[in-house]
Every structure is written in structure tokens, then in C-alpha cells.
A and B are shown apart, each in its own frame.
Chain A
Amino acid sequence: MRWIRTLRLSLKSLLLHPMRSGLTVLGILIGVASVIWLLAIGEGISRASQNQIANLGAKNIIIRTIKPTGDDFDGSGYGLTRADYQLLQETIPTVEVTLPIREVEREFRFGARRIEGRLVGVTPDYTEVLNLKLDRGRFINPADMEAERNVCVLAWETSERLFPQGESVGESVMVDDEFYTVIGVAEPKAATAGVGGSLAAEDFSSDIYIPIQTFWRRLGDMMVTTKPGQYQRDLVEVSQISLRVRERDDVLPTADLVRETIDRNHLMDDYAITVPLELLIQARTTQLMFIVFLGLIAAISLVVGGIGIMNIMLATVTERTQEIGIRRALGAKRKDIVGQFLTESVVLSVVGGALGIVAGLFCPLFSRFARDGLAQLFPRQFATLPDLIRELEPVLVMWSIPLAFVIAAGVGVLFGVYPATRAAALDPIVALRRN
């Protein structure tokens, strides 16, 4: 009962100066809201990067051919070989699937229609490892591989562009001088973003998939690219080998083993290994640092808010010296005075904290609003911003809400103690006489 009265009393005296109390509350509001906002933005960024990595598959190890630069490259063949593929497939027991991929830029033709695209030689495992789904027809099967058939599966967009008004399955697409019978069409697949390391962003929308055996047979390893002003020869057997490890715990040791195995057979830097799990772990560390950093900024704003409270409460103590004297003369103990002033500062900070939480909850809404507004007002400048900012979706971290509230109340206590003890230390006689 008594504390309800104390609370009412403190509300009453705070409301005597609504402007002053309001501004103090605003300080805490901004501090608490910034805790929630910064954590939400940090979470949004780290989720986005983790999603990108997770899309690559946490159990995958990706080895890609890269064209060596430097003096020891003699212009002959480079990159991963069929021997590497055989070796990896046969010697590493923890690997479940070994998927070789060979890809090259080519022109696809159907009748008079020609489009540029990517011809990808794959095995039946491709759908599973890269999570590709079929819209209709079937994917390449072992029999196609065995017989080195001229069959192909089209990416959704390739099919739409090459066969705008007809069914593609059953027709034949011409690549170089060969015809490939369309046996299936894939569902649309979103492009992956580059995640650093050797893995560039990958777009699947202009793909045509054929059995890798057919690729090797029909196109060979030597790729000659002629464009106006450019003549390029590349002798490459395999563009990429994707491994899927059986158990997640084995991914890192397997990656080391793969590195050793491949390194033994390659004199040049003509390949790169990407381990999404490693990136994922790295991303977590970065995220942790990020949170600590953002937390620091939020802490600074809370301290500033707390100092605001202390400032106001100290001014209040000076201004209310006579009131303190009267209360002491009427029988208030020191601890009653401490309690009264502490209650006031806690009320200020808790009200600020509660409002700050409400403001914090609006973070995703506000950021969407701000983003759309910017995109409309300055479309050109906006387009040049990095993807991370343009596509930022803050994710509210649920534990940040109780945390923010506890911090706010703590700030009220911490920064209220000194003014409250100052108030209680006043000599009642001196306090009474002052006017």
C-alpha cells in the first residue's frame, strides 16, 4: 500500500514539470530504442549473410577451377581434372556425394531463335546437391550418362526464352553443331550471392544441363572463345567439384583432407576450395563482434540518458530543498527521502524504457518505410548502395526487450542513487530555513 502511495507521489511531483520530465524520459527512450534497433539491425545483417552461406549447404565442400595467373602458367591445361574427381570419389570415405561440373558459355539455338547461355555438364546428383527442382519432364539419369546421350534439361528462364510460345520438352536445342533433346525443365532457382572466398555470385537462369559424359565427348576439354578482339583458349577438364559430406561434424576434417589430396597433384594455384561451414563459423564470430560493437554504442546512449536523469534529479534536489526539510520535520527518515527520490528517477527511466521498447518494436516497420521512401526519392543514388543496405530487414531480437527494460530500470537506480543520497543528507534545519 505504502509503495503505491510513494509511486503516486513521485508521479505527481514529476508531472509538476511535464516538459522537464518529458525530455528526461526522451533521453532514456532513445537509449533503450537504440539498444533494440541496433540489435535488430545486427541480427538482420547476420541472418542475411548466414542465409547466403546456408544456401550453399553447410555439409558441402566446393572446389572450383580458377585460371592461374603468374609466371609459371604456360598457357596449357589447368584446373581440376577427371583424375582429381576419381581420387576424391574413391579415397575419402566421409564423402557421400561427389559431383563434377563442367560449364562453358555457349550460344543456344532453336530454329531462328538464338540466346546466350551457360552449358553445364553434370551428373544425376546435381539436383540433390544444388537443390534444383524439376518443373516437368525428368532430370539426367545414369543411363543417359552411360550412353552419353544428347539430352538436356533447361533452366526455367532458358525454356521461356527459347520456346516462348510452345512446349520445350521433346524439342531439340542446337549447341555448336549438335542437337540435344529436351527431357525436362527445372523450376526457377534464385541466384546465389557471392560469399567471399573463391565463390562468385552464381546465376542459374540461362543454364542448360547435359550429362557430363556427353559434354566431355562432344565438346572436349579445349574451349576456344572468340569474341570481337578476343581469342581465348582454355584447356580445362572439370570446372567444379562439389562434395557432400555425410555427417556435419566431419566437414572440417574432410575439408583439410581434400585440401591435402588436391594440393599434391597441383603445382599451380589453379583451384580454390570453399567450405560454407567455415564461412558460417566465421560469420558467427563477426556477428558476435558486431553485437559487442553495437552494444557499446547503445550503452553510450544509455549512459548519456542516465546522466540526463542524474542532472534533472540533482536540479530537483536543489529546487526542492524546502520540501525535503518539511518532510524531514514531519518525521521522514533519511531512507524515506532516498526512497522518494529513487522512485522518481526509476519512474522516469522505466517510463522511458517502456516507451523505448515500443519505439524499438517499430524498427522493422520504420526501416522498411525509410528504405521505400529513399528508393522513391533518390532512385539512382539508392541503386548504388550495397545490397546489404538495400535489402536490409531488421530482425527483432526477443531477448533484447527484457534486457532493454532491465537496463533502463538499472540506469534509473544507478543514476538516481547519488541525487537521492544528496537529498537525504540535507540537514532538516538548513533545509527548512532555506527558501
Chain B
Amino acid sequence: MIRTAEPAAPPAVAVADLKKDYALGGAKVQALRGVTFEVPPGDFVSIMGPSGSGKSTLLNLLGCLDRPTSGRYSLAGEDVSTFSDDQLAEVRCTKLGMVFQSFNLLPALTVQENIELPLYYSNRLTATNRDRCLALADRVGLAERLDHRPMQLSGGQQQRVAIARSLANDPSFLLADEPTGNLDTATTDEILALLASLNDEGRTIVMVTHEDEVAERTARTIVLRDGQLVSDHRR
């Protein structure tokens, strides 16, 4: 392999001509029609677009939950677009953290167990890693509620548990799907502040939202429409 003399850090996320087709009742639906963009490490990007614009499809691809029909997706320099199911699971587990609109905590598990869950699947359930999870719980302000069940927490608290969980394997890339969609204004501020502080530490964050106020808190906004990228501007 030929290397340049001064290898620059690869982009955290690089998608090139990403396409995704679905078969919907026999008809082919082109959800993504060739999207290309790069996210340098440490960036804070919001993805916007009306419903049907393909932002959910893009999010699934970025989150390694799905494979593109064509095109390339590189995560920290590694092309994951052709990975097998198990390899994608490995990537989801260790390389990226996901935060969802509906929190997606497991109701049967305690706060601590929820945060530690990714460690379980990455097979890294060591004392050090578990201590780090405790520190994460402390950081999101839930050190007092480790034994609570998700149902006993408010929405904001649940989302903070989910954020702590997404950091369990210490990924450098966070993917958030409308993380404040179910929260009131005050709590939205808290969560956005938390994400901003994580970004300040150098973590790359890509967040899907449909609220302008939320998008304004990010450094860069990408807008999709009809499966194509229509605007990409930095504040």
C-alpha cells in the first residue's frame, strides 16, 4: 500500500454516493439516491429534512444497522459497507454509540445494568470498564440511581442513561436519532449541553433532528430532501 508522507487523520465518517433501495409491495423505492459527505473527527453535525427525505435511512446506514445498496461508507478510515452481519454488530458495539428518541432502555434491567450492556456484548466486562461506567453514570448525574429501573426515571434522566450507555465502550463517534424529540424544553437544553460537552472532548457527533432550534446548537447542518443532499452549511 502506498502511503503519503504525512498521513492525515481519516475522516470520522465518509460516505460516497451512498444509495439505498427498498422493495415496497413490488415497487422499488429509492430512499437514498447517492449521498456524499465527510465528517472530520470532532465535528458536531445535525442532519435535517422532512419526513420521507431519507434521513432515517441514512441514520440506519450510519449506525451500521443496515447495508447500502451501493456506495461506500467508511468509519474512521474503515470501509464497512460490505461487512457481514457479525462484523457490523462488532462495529455497532465498539466503534459507535447510539442514542434514540425513545431512549430504548431495557425495562427489566437497572440503570447500572443498562449502562453496562454494551460491555457485555463487546466481551469487555472488566473491573476497569465497569468502573468507567460508574464514572459515566456520575457524569450524567445518575450516580444516586444506579439501582433504579428505567420506569422510575423521568424522560430526561432516561435519555442521560442512554447517553451513558452509548459511551460504555468509549467510542469516538456518537449517533443520535432525535435525542430530544420526546423531551420538554428545559430537559432538551440539558441533553444538548451534555452532547456539546462530549463534543468538546473530541467525540464526533451526528444528530438527526427536525427542530431548527436543536440544529442551531450544532456546528454544521446537512439537509436532505427526496434522498439527496440539498444543503450542507457550517455555522
Question: Which positions in A face B, CB cutoff 8 Å?
Answer: 1-2, 5, 12-13, 16, 322-323, 325-336, 428-429, 432, 435
> Contacts of B169 on A, CB cut-off 8 Å?
331
A330 to B121, CA, bound (A): 8
Distance (whole angstroms) from the CB of A252 to the closest CB of chain B:
66
Segment among B39-47, B59-67, B179-187, B190-198 that sits at the interface with chain A: B59-67
A13 to B108, CA, bound (A): 7
Partner of B90, one of A2, A16, A331, A428: A331
Partner of A331, one of B66, B105, B109, B118: B118
A354 to B28, CA, bound (A): 54
Q: Is the CB of B121 within 8 A of A5?
A: no
Question: Is residue B122 within 8 Å, beta carbon to beta carbon, of the partner chain?
Answer: yes
Question: Is residue B29 within 8 Å, beta carbon to beta carbon, of the partner chain?
Answer: no
A329 to B90, CA, bound (A): 10
Distance (whole angstroms) from the CB of A343 to the closest CB of chain B:
13
5 A-B pairs closest in CB distance: A331-B93, A331-B121, A333-B89, A331-B92, A326-B104
Q: Is the CB of B94 within 8 A of A331?
A: yes
> Contacts of B86 on A, CB cut-off 8 Å?
333-335
Q: Is the CB of A5 within 8 A of B125?
A: yes
> Contacts of B66 on A, CB cut-off 8 Å?
429
A323 to B94, CA, bound (A): 19
A435 to B122, CA, bound (A): 26
Distance (whole angstroms) from the CB of A347 to the closest CB of chain B:
15
> Contacts of B165 on A, CB cut-off 8 Å?
330
> Contacts of B65 on A, CB cut-off 8 Å?
328-329, 428-429, 432
A13 to B86, CA, bound (A): 25
Partner of B98, one of A13, A329, A336: A329
Q: Taking CB as reference atom, which chain A residue is nearest B166?
A: A330
Q: Taking CB as reference atom, which chain B residue is nearest A333?
A: B89
- For chain B, the bracket of interface size reads 20 to 34
20 contacts between A and B (CB under 8 A): A2-B120, A12-B108, A13-B108, A323-B106, A325-B104, A326-B104, A327-B121, A329-B65, A329-B92, A330-B117, A330-B118, A330-B165, A331-B169, A333-B86, A334-B86, A334-B89, A336-B121, A429-B60, A429-B65, A432-B104
A12 to B107, CA, bound (A): 11
Partner of A326, one of B89, B90, B106, B123: B106
> Contacts of A12 on B, CB cut-off 8 Å?
108-109
Distance (whole angstroms) from the CB of B205 to the closest CB of chain A:
17
Scan residues 72-131 of chain B and give those whose CB is less than 8 A from a CB of chain A.
Answer: 85-86, 89-90, 92-94, 98, 100, 102, 104-106, 108-109, 117-118, 120-123, 125
Distance (whole angstroms) from the CB of B208 to the closest CB of chain A:
14
Distance (whole angstroms) from the CB of B188 to the closest CB of chain A:
22
A333 to B90, CA, bound (A): 8
Contacts A331-B90, A331-B92 known; list 18 others, CB within 8 Å: A2-B123, A13-B108, A323-B106, A326-B106, A329-B104, A330-B92, A330-B98, A330-B117, A331-B121, A332-B93, A332-B121, A333-B121, A334-B85, A334-B86, A428-B65, A429-B60, A432-B100, A432-B104
> Contacts of B106 on A, CB cut-off 8 Å?
323, 326-327
> Contacts of B63 on A, CB cut-off 8 Å?
329
Partner of A330, one of B60, B93, B123: B93
A-side binding surface: helix, strand, loop or mixed? Answer: helix
Kindly name the residue among B90, B106, B122 whose own CB sees the greatest number of chain A CB atoms within 10 A: B106
Q: Taking CB as reference atom, which chain A residue is nearest B85?
A: A334
Q: Is the CB of B89 within 8 A of A332?
A: yes
Partner of B122, one of A13, A331, A334: A331
Interface string of B136-163 (1 = CB under 8 A from A): 0000000000000000000000000000
> Contacts of A428 on B, CB cut-off 8 Å?
65
A261 to B29, CA, bound (A): 97
> Contacts of A333 on B, CB cut-off 8 Å?
85-86, 89-90, 121
- A2 and B89 in contact, given A329-B65, A429-B66, A435-B102 (Cβ under 8 angstroms): no
> Contacts of B125 on A, CB cut-off 8 Å?
1-2, 5
> Contacts of A332 on B, CB cut-off 8 Å?
89, 93, 121
> Contacts of A2 on B, CB cut-off 8 Å?
120, 123, 125
Distance (whole angstroms) from the CB of A237 to the closest CB of chain B:
88
Kindly name the residue among B90, B92, B105, B109 whose own CB sees the greatest number of chain A CB atoms within 10 A: B92
- A16 and B108 in contact, given A330-B118, A331-B121, A332-B121 (Cβ under 8 angstroms): yes
Distance (whole angstroms) from the CB of B112 to the closest CB of chain A:
13
A336 to B122, CA, bound (A): 11
A2 to B122, CA, bound (A): 11
> Contacts of A322 on B, CB cut-off 8 Å?
104
A4 to B109, CA, bound (A): 16
> Contacts of A325 on B, CB cut-off 8 Å?
104
Q: Is the CB of A331 within 8 A of B104?
A: no
> Contacts of B123 on A, CB cut-off 8 Å?
2
Q: Taking CB as reference atom, which chain A residue is nearest B91?
A: A331
Distance (whole angstroms) from the CB of A265 to the closest CB of chain B:
87
A2 to B92, CA, bound (A): 20
A3 to B77, CA, bound (A): 34
Partner of A5, one of B92, B102, B120: B120
> Contacts of B60 on A, CB cut-off 8 Å?
429
Q: Taking CB as reference atom, which chain A residue is nearest B96?
A: A331
A329 to B63, CA, bound (A): 8
- A331 and B108 in contact, given A2-B120, A2-B125 (Cβ under 8 angstroms): no
Q: Is the CB of B89 within 8 A of A331?
A: yes
Q: Taking CB as reference atom, which chain B residue is nearest A5?
A: B120
Kindly name the residue among B63, B66, B90, B108 whose own CB sees the greatest number of chain A CB atoms within 10 A: B108
A329 to B59, CA, bound (A): 12
A335 to B85, CA, bound (A): 11
Distance (whole angstroms) from the CB of A20 to the closest CB of chain B:
14
> Contacts of B89 on A, CB cut-off 8 Å?
328, 331-334
A157 to B106, CA, bound (A): 80
A284 to B84, CA, bound (A): 59
Distance (whole angstroms) from the CB of A342 to the closest CB of chain B:
16
